[in-house]
Structure 1
Amino acid sequence: MVRSLHFLAVLLTVCAVLFGGAARADDSTPGYLEFTEVSEGRYSVLWRSPKLSTPLPALVLQLPEAAQNLTEPVTTELPRSIVERRLIEVDPAQFLGSRIEIAGLRETNTDVLVRIAFANGAATTNLLQPSQPWMIVKGPRSAAQVTWDYTVLGFEHILGGFDHLLFVLALLLIVGPSRRLLWAITSFTLAHSLTLAAATLGLVWVPGPPVEATIALSILFLAGELLKVEQNKPSLTATYPWLVAFTFGLLHGLGFAGALADVGLPEHEIPLALLMFNVGVELGQLTFVLSVLAFMFLLKKFFREMPNWAVQMPAYFIGSTASFWLIERVSGF
């Protein structure tokens, strides 16, 4: 592969993807708001707000005007979110057609999934986004609407998951645009789909902080592998890309499951929601890979080879970023 491709593809793609979003890899964690009708007109409210970077304003739940607190909000702080619980009362006739809003959502790059479960077993879901941080309460939504909401969640999660994208980018640069890349990406997809499903369904459980730290370590490993390739040294990933992709894919699937757990799944639509979240992740991953390959194709037409020091910069850049994440996440244990 032409050396300049490695340098310029990484420079353009990583700068746009990583620093265009944030230096942190967790500001796109979605929020979750749930209303559960415990008796007529009375709702248990769960509001899980993601922790955001300091410059961003806190997300504030704004309930319908007709709603009254029966209990004061009780707040619990978790590693990646703040959970608020309360009991409210609102006239059923006034609840339907009322407005729910998340103040401060416009200034973020995250979404909030809203689920309303009625006493008769019916439920409705809505996806609030920075472009529209409010909703009008309506009756139950169709399976097609659940499909759309969770596909969008998966798509936006992977494109906002800068650590996962950096792993895929490093893998792509090691293997290059070839049939071996197809096998590697397929192995990565299969692996993280397995652990995503297993963790979401409660078959396996691993604490979130160690998983996030190990994901950073996996990127650091690939940075070392990329450096070996650039120096024409033997590389495990270059020799067995599918094996490395599958092994670390199992780990990354646990990371996806952590994000999905923050949102939750609709009780009566778990298989569908899980499937479509995974489909959204794959669509986002495919979009990213095709974008990088398009950059590489275009750059091949305009740039010649780069000096050795420039060729090795991508590996050092990826390794430095992964090292920062690793230290940050380990210190947060």
Structure 2
Amino acid sequence: MNGRLRGFWTLVGVIIAALAFASAAVAHEIRPAYLQIDQKAANRYTVTWRTPMLSGMRLPVALRFPEGVRNVTTSERNLPDSVVETRVIETTNGALAGQRVEFIGLQATITDVLVRVRLLDGPASITMVRPSQPWIDVAARPGSLEVARTFMHQGVEHILFGYDHLLFVLALIFIARDWKALLWTVTAFTAAHSITLTLATLGIVHVPGPPVEAAIAFSILLLACEIIRVQNGKASMTARRPWLVAFAFGLLHGLGFAGALADLALPQSDIPLALLFFNVGVETGQLAFIVAVIAIVWLARLVRYPPSVGRRAFVTATYLIGATAAFWFVERLSAF
């Protein structure tokens, strides 16, 4: 790849590395809250309300049910990363269908709420509530279209705000020798993380989250080192077969994606549809990122500057990516 293309790919690397440093403390930490409502009788429901812990404190969001709803029983348990509250509630003026449940304080946060409602006369509905509209109107007869839309959006959001995954994809672009190699490399990465995402989500494979997150950061660091080796003219299997390295590390990144999906605490009956569209969302976001990089490369052809500038910027961006990955690795390793 010539210096001109490397220089403009570098611009992408510098921007993402800067964002990654600024967001290191929150990357993969903004997990949604979760509300599950199951109707057990005409006027009785069980409620599970899980709120994540942020910086050691419970998310300051409270549930508000409509008038005519009273608590029958309430219990609470603390988990390492969240607080789970379980209630049995009764309605005194009709069913919850058609009524509004509010999330007081959600508008002051950056956290979403995944809401799952199952009524006696229909399938479960799944909706993502945003801080900009902190309430949900309980639908009488929900369909599966909302499930697909919700989890596809969640998949896109996860990849576009998962700076570690984006840095890894960018490093793959850096090390690919041509467009054909890039195509095979990205395809191998996609196939690999789809495999482990599926296996982990279905419970066939289980690996604790913290070691996976640390290993993902280490994979980016190793790839950055390989890019520098190639730049120095040293032989590298990564440069000869980038698709093989992408496949191997893609298996690891798939476990990270599975961890994000598992954080949504979905019942088994919703896993297949959620898994499919979450994966579609991840691939859509990844493709959008690659297309954006290619567009910048195309624009680079309109600019003229000395090749030495592109080479120096390319090396600088690679070191920034490696330094970011090293920081993440140490930070995540210390969190074990």
Note whether the superposition's TM-score is higher than 0.5.
Answer: yes
* Partner residue in 2 for 1:115: 116
Q: Structure 2 length normalisation: TM-score?
A: 0.88
- How far residue 86 of structure 1 moved from its aligned partner, in angstroms, is 2.6
| Conserved 8 A contact 2:42-2:95 | no
* Partner residue in 2 for 1:35: 37
- Please, which of 309, 314, 317 is the counterpart of residue 317 of structure 2? 314
Q: How does 1:82-231 map to 2 (within 5 A)?
A: 82-91=83-92, 93-120=94-121, 122-175=123-176, 178-231=179-232
Is structure 2 residue 328 aligned with structure 1 residue 325? Answer: yes
Secondary structure of 1:71's aligned partner:
strand
| Comparing 204-213 and 105-114, the one that deviates more | 105-114
| Conserved 8 A contact 1:36-1:44 | yes
Secondary structure of 2:49's aligned partner:
strand
Secondary structure of 1:170's aligned partner:
helix
- How high is the sequence identity, in percent, across the aligned residues? 47
Q: 1:177 to 1:288 in 2, by over 3 A?
A: farther
Secondary structure of 1:72's aligned partner:
strand
Distance in 1, Cα, partners of 2:16 & 2:294: 10
* Partner residue in 1 for 2:258: 257
| Conserved 8 A contact 2:24-2:328 | no
- How far residue 233 of structure 1 moved from its aligned partner, in angstroms, is 2.3
CA offset digits 1:39-63 (Å, max 9, x no partner): 4322222222233358x99241323
Which ranges in structure 2 are unaligned for 5 or more consecutive residues? none
Q: Structure 1 length normalisation: TM-score?
A: 0.89
Q: 1:125 to 1:166 in 2, by over 3 A?
A: same
| Comparing 251-260 and 67-76, the one that deviates more | 67-76
- How far residue 151 of structure 1 moved from its aligned partner, in angstroms, is 0.8
Q: 1:231 to 1:53 in 2, by over 3 A?
A: farther
Secondary structure of 2:235's aligned partner:
coil
RMSD over aligned Cα atoms = 2.5
Question: Where has structure 1 moved over 4 Å in runs of 4 or more?
Answer: 19-23
Secondary structure of 1:127's aligned partner:
strand
CA offset digits 1:127-158 (Å, max 9, x no partner): 11233222111123212222111111111111
CA offset digits 1:85-118 (Å, max 9, x no partner): 2332234725222222334443444432100122
| Conserved 8 A contact 2:76-2:83 | no
| Comparing 268-277 and 321-330, the one that deviates more | 268-277
CA offset digits 1:268-290 (Å, max 9, x no partner): 44322211111011001111111
Distance in 1, Cα, partners of 2:207 & 2:147: 27
| Comparing 197-206 and 301-310, the one that deviates more | 301-310
| Comparing 156-165 and 169-178, the one that deviates more | 169-178
| Comparing 66-75 and 131-140, the one that deviates more | 66-75
Secondary structure of 1:62's aligned partner:
strand
Distance in 2, Cα, partners of 1:281 & 1:40: 39
| Conserved 8 A contact 1:45-1:87 | yes
| Conserved 8 A contact 1:31-1:262 | no
Which protein is bigger by CA-based radius of gyration?
A: 2
Distance in 2, Cα, partners of 1:301 & 1:13: 23
- How far residue 65 of structure 1 moved from its aligned partner, in angstroms, is 2.9
Q: 1:103 to 1:285 in 2, by over 3 A?
A: farther
Give the letter for the 1:95 counterpart.
L
- Please, which of 69, 78, 81 is the counterpart of residue 71 of structure 2? 69
CA offset digits 1:280-323 (Å, max 9, x no partner): 11001111111122122223422523175533111211111111
Distance in 1, Cα, partners of 2:317 & 2:182: 18
Distance in 2, Cα, partners of 1:269 & 1:102: 24
| Comparing 106-115 and 212-221, the one that deviates more | 106-115
Q: 1:249 to 1:130 in 2, by over 3 A?
A: same
Distance in 2, Cα, partners of 1:209 & 1:147: 28
